[in-house]
Structure 1
Amino acid sequence: MSEEILVNVTPRETRVALLENGVLQEVMIERSNSRGLVGNLYKGRVSRVLPGMQAAFIDIGLDRTAFLHASDIARSAHTESETPSASPANIRDLVQEGREILVQVLKDPLGTKGARLTTHISIPSRYLVYLPGGTGVGLSTRIENELERARLQGALSQFMESESPGGYIVRTAGEDASVDALRADMLFLSRLWESISVSSAQAKPGDLIHEDLPLPVRILRDMMSQGVEQVRVDFEATFQRMKDFAEHFIPELSPRVQHYTGRRPIFDLYGVDDEINRALERRVNLKSGGYLIIDQTEAMTTVDVNTGGFVGSRNLEETALKTNLEAARAIARQLRLRNLGGIIIIDFIDMDDEEHKRLVLTALERALAQDPAKNQVCEVSALGLVEMTRKRTRESLEHVLCEACPTCEGRGSLKTAETVCFDVFREILREAGQYEVQELLVIASQPVVDVLLDEESASLAEVEEMVGKPIRLQVETQYSQEQFDVVPT
């Protein structure tokens, strides 16, 4: 599988696209006025402790206080030198209101929720993750070769000194890394943590202690691997910064970072913008003629699978199986592309054959295995639904690029002109009963006025007779279909 990374830079916005075999799989967007916070370290102050929720709200200098759950607090958070215990503890025993605390952002603010925090600090480098409050050496589960796992375990263990507390995790990128490269990463992380510790001691509550790398450099650290054939960057200054980082930390892959100088926009060249626009739509068409309907809500995301124009060639069960198998692969890609997380409910086409259900579930799990975000799939429920979760650390693509429609306020539907007419009639009766008026002026949108003068003209005459006052209509072109005013004159 060949991978390419495209970096598109415009003033105050950077977009990164990951393509696998020429197909867009993931999009990341960072704007200078709303950079992600995940990985940042802050000096916080406990503003409220909530025993009922086993959590605390922490002021870290943002618009909304951040959320810290008891399970995300190291038992020795005041020293950050012991291994966190798994046994439950009361939040009041861990933090007190007014206390200063060093915290790291786990999840960006999402919707109306503040950022999610932890005191289990982790600092990543190219090959390693340093855990100041941890012990020993851990390995990425994606490193499967047992001989390589043993080599890495031994290489790091021989460098770890008992007087230097902390633990390390070898990242997936660390597979086949040389001993010298691992040692260099350990020294870099050790010096970085010393600097953070000094800054933290001197900082005031609300101060940013350490900020993660900007998106273009971060993707080199986190996503660059032997499988990535090239990284194409369309802005020279960003290219130079990425090139310098690559030459310093991943020199063997540095030649793959290239400056794109073509006249045609790089995302147009690969059709990325068209894919992004399609990812903002509810409907996803399948090659067979079937389609998906994806709805994102506050509580969960739902995916409905439909056969559409696909009628198959044998029977209904065979048609359902083929559509569901294709849908399983498409769903895995869409979840990653749209960055959908939390609870996800998938309504596959009903199947009676248990073996067919198992095949679809296996296809979904296999497709999700390529997703770097942690996910968990449950069995098919009694209602024929597949429940799953996908870890969410940042806003979805829709929430980054879109806002609720000001006309329908996010409902996705509008009252019909006929419904608004009856709202108008009720308001006329209400106004006429409260005030002494000579005339009533109805101000509404063109579609509503058209219905009042046509289909509902008899109803309007009846209302006029009921109130005993003349009713005049006026079109307001700036009004949405649901907006109207009844003005007594």
Structure 2
Amino acid sequence: MLTAGRLFARQHRIQATVEHILINCSARETRVAVIVESVLRDLFIERASARGLVGNVYLGKVVRVLPGMQSAFVDVGLERTAFLHVADIAEAKTETEALKPIETLLHEGQSLMVQVAKDPIGTKGARLTTTISLAGRKLVYLPRDPHIGVSQRIESEEQREELRAMMTALRPETEKGGYIIRTSAEEGATEEEFRDDMAYLGRLWEEIGEKAKKSHPPALLYQDLSLAQRVLRDMVHQQTDRVEVDSAKDFDALRTFAERFVPGVAEKLSLYEGETPLFELHGVEAELEGALGRRVDLKSGGYLVFDQTEAMTTIDVNTGGYVGKRDFSDTIFKTNLEAAQTIARQLRLRNLGGIIIVDFIDMAREEHREAVLSELRRAVATDRTRMTVSNFTELGLVAMTRKRTRESLAHVLCEPCPICGGRGQVKTARTVCYDIMREIVRLCKQYKDTREYRILASQTVIDMLLEDESPALELLQQTVEKPVLLEVENTYSQEEWDVVLA
């Protein structure tokens, strides 16, 4: 019998990872793929028509203050007014834990400099904060907060103290702002890199201030870097082998940006000039199509089924055609292990957030459940988005939460089906026929002077009325004592129809 521990160890020998970043640029869309050990790990898409707003700084106008919710709506020039909670107002914080009432801080018509902390999602407007933060390569500048902090992802307490001490010594006595040392500083930041960031971010804040003085709300004061620029600033590290760009124009612009702000990255940039499209060459296009489907096949023969709703995402694990070489418990265990790895990867590719429920195949042995749970936690540990993973419930389910940072891949690339309205199914032609007949009976009672009824419907529905439902149609004409005419409307879907009175 192959034990859980032996199988787990055999499948997960640690290897040095090699990362490869692909940047596909077109006039209105930028796509970035992060490939680790020849496997697509992350996918980012930014469109000019729907560019993310997080990090943008606006001069807004308070349009409504809600004391009961301790919140305010602020017009920053977007389609929907943005939302500001009292906890996100720097001036509301006191030495005690209590916050000042929002009605004492804001009033309608007031001009206010704010920054987008969270993109609009669904029907919700953008979430704002008055605590402005500007990100550099190694530092995040807090012009209104004197605090000096260190990213929580830097776990070594000794290194955290060293970095904090370095930053404290470098900050001028006249500087009123503070800094947060980013995770990228963990790889060995130098005083020169800190000074470069401080100078760049200081100039940037001065430009924002000057623009604010000359603007009237609502006005955009600062727009965060483009997706490609953020990738160079935040995602390129020692394990990154190369960054390929498939547009000569964007390559030149990114190289200029890198040479100015992230010099160590410039040497890793390369221009792809091959005939085969960059994403197609590396299999990204096929992976992208797969990430939009409900079903994801596993190499073992099992498969996953993803269902995304407003409340949560559910993932069902199935053995499929995999029967294994030993007993059935090993088959289940191996399928669940592979599923744990694939689920972590698919959550990142699909950018699914909120509550996620995983229904693994039931396992009788406790050591199998522990090994699968450990593998799931190991697989999600590399996710840049904060996640929590619970233990197995009595029903054999695992609940997870993944912070919502932007719209899911499906919401970015797809829209609800115009035929079914997003239900995933349509009424049968027979059901539509009966709906039409009931409507004619209703109209007959309401409009007694009608001479005839004309049904406009799709070819499928008309065929059903002429064939299988012809006896019912004949009975309907006897009931209403008027002729019922049929007409095919080729532009109608199966569920669309009209009854015209004459």
Q: TM-score higher than 0.5 here? A: yes
Distance 1:317 1:405 in 2: 40
Residue 16 of structure 1 pairs with residue 29 of structure 2: no
Deviation at 1:240, TM superposition (A): 0.8
Alignment partner of 2:208 out of 185, 196, 200: 196
1:284 aligns with 2:286: no
- 2:134 corresponds to which letter in structure 1? I
1:79 alignment counterpart:
none
> Do the aligned residues in 1 keep the contact of 2:244 with 2:270 (CA within 8 Å)?
yes
Residue 439 of structure 2 corresponds to 427
Residues of 2 paired with 1:125 and 1:285: CA distance? Answer: 41
Task: Show the counterpart of 2:7.
Answer: none
Tell me the SS of whatever aligns to 1:33.
helix
- Kindly state the Cα deviation for residue 146 of structure 1 after the two structures are TM-superposed: 4.8
Are the counterparts in 1 of residues 322 and 331 from structure 2 also a CA contact under 8 Å? yes
Quote the Cα distance in structure 1 between the aligned partners of 2:163 and 2:200: 18
Alpha-carbon distance in 2 for matches of 1:385, 1:132:
46
- How much has 1:417 moved relative to structure 2? 0.8
Closer/same/farther in 2, CA of residues 256 and 35 from structure 1, 3 Å limit:
same
Asked if 1:440 is matched to 2:456, the reply is no
Matches within 5 A, 1:118-133: 118-133=129-144
Residue 340 of structure 1 corresponds to which residue in structure 2?
352
Seen in structure 2, the aligned counterparts of structure 1 residues 55 and 315 have a Cα distance that, compared at 3 Å, is farther
User: CA offsets, 1:151-182, max 9 Å, x none?
Assistant: 32222111123431222111122220221111
CA distance in 2 between counterparts of 1:65 and 1:87 reads 27
- In the TM superposition, residue 439 of structure 1 has moved relative to its aligned partner by 2.4
* Structure-to-structure mapping, 1:39-188, within 5 angstroms: 39-75=55-91, 86-175=97-186, 176-188=188-200
Indicate the residue corresponding to 1:480 in structure 2: 493
Matched-pair contact (CA < 8 Å) for 2:232–2:265: no
2:408 equivalent to 1:396: yes
Describe the SS at the equivalent of 1:53.
coil
Overall identity of the aligned pairs, in %: 53
CA distance in 1, matches of 2:422, 2:105: 40
1:97 alignment partner, SS class: coil
Q: What are the Cα deviations for residues 432-457 of structure 1, in whole angstroms up to 9, with x where unaligned?
A: 22222332222211111222222222
Structure 1: gaps (5+ residues): 77-81
Contact 2:148-2:179 within 8 A present in 1 as well = yes
Deviation at 1:85, TM superposition (A): 6.7
Counterpart code for 1:449: I
Q: Distance in 2 between matches of 1:86 and 1:406?
A: 50
Letter in 2 for 1:171: R
Q: Distance in 1 between matches of 2:144 and 2:363?
A: 50
TM-score (norm 1): 0.93
Q: Match of 2:30, as an amino acid?
A: T
| Residue pair 2:116, 2:127 contacting (<8 A) in 1 also | yes
Number of residue pairs matched by the alignment: 484
Paired residues of 1:44 and 1:103 also in contact (CA < 8 A): yes
Would you say the 8 A contact 1:233–1:260 is kept in 2? Answer: yes
Give the secondary structure class of the aligned counterpart of 1:4. strand
* 3-state SS in 1 of match to 2:90: coil
Q: Which amino acid aligns with 1:52?
A: G
Q: Does 1:241 align with 2:253?
A: yes
Q: Which amino acid is 2:73 matched to?
A: F
Residue 8 (structure 2) aligns with: none
Query: Which whole-Å CA distance do the structure 2 matches of 1:162 and 1:447 have between them?
Result: 78
Structure 1 vs Structure 2 CA RMSD: 2.0
Equivalent residue in structure 1 for 2:44, among 28, 49, 67: 28
Displacement of 1:290: 1.6
